[in-house]
Structure 1
């Protein structure tokens, strides 16, 4: 049976920043600059207040170093089973043109001929 999982995550940057005495979104900008990462005020605001879909690993590593945490403390992940899809049972083949332990079946080459009476013109 094929299992389908849903992965969810919680971005905890704001909580971790507060635990480290950083309460303004702009507080992280200077620390990131020390690690060679330049973010605008609006980028820092989105990073702290929102949940990023994509995140540069250099930024993630710098945040972990600045805040003294691991990625597990910064990103809380959860997975749960969504559903199960039964697999086919029987004589199903992955490659329909090749029978199990048999010869390769090749298509017959088509021969294109002009329609009758086409030579008269």
Structure 2
């Protein structure tokens, strides 16, 4: 953001709105200041357009290990994370 002359998250509201993304200032602040678990593809595309970058420059993936617990009958127990199918 700083490289593009934006000093705070409020300055992202209008550029995103111009690209069809309507988020409140607080939603944008949370997205920027925290590590969101997920964002929509439309939002990612709009952010890439605003900052003039490709998606691979904007997203950094960190692998997580996902373990699945099963019951004796072999059914999956519901937990915080579910297996990728």
- TM-score with structure 1 setting the length: 0.49
Larger Rg: 1
If each structure's strand is expressed as a fraction of its own residues, which one has the higher value?
Answer: 1
Q: What is the deviation of 1:78?
A: 4.6
Other-structure match for 2:25: 41
TM-score w.r.t. length of structure 2: 0.68
Name which structure has the greater RCO, CA cutoff 8 Å, separation 6+: 1
Structure 2: which 5+ residue stretches go unaligned?
65-85
Higher helix share: 2
> Any idea what the Cα deviations from partners look like across 1:7-51, whole Å, max 9, x if unmatched?
xxxxxxxxxx11111120111110000011111111010011111
Aligned alpha-carbon RMSD (Å): 1.8
Structure 1 unpaired stretches of 5+: 1-16, 81-121
Q: How many residue pairs get matched?
A: 65
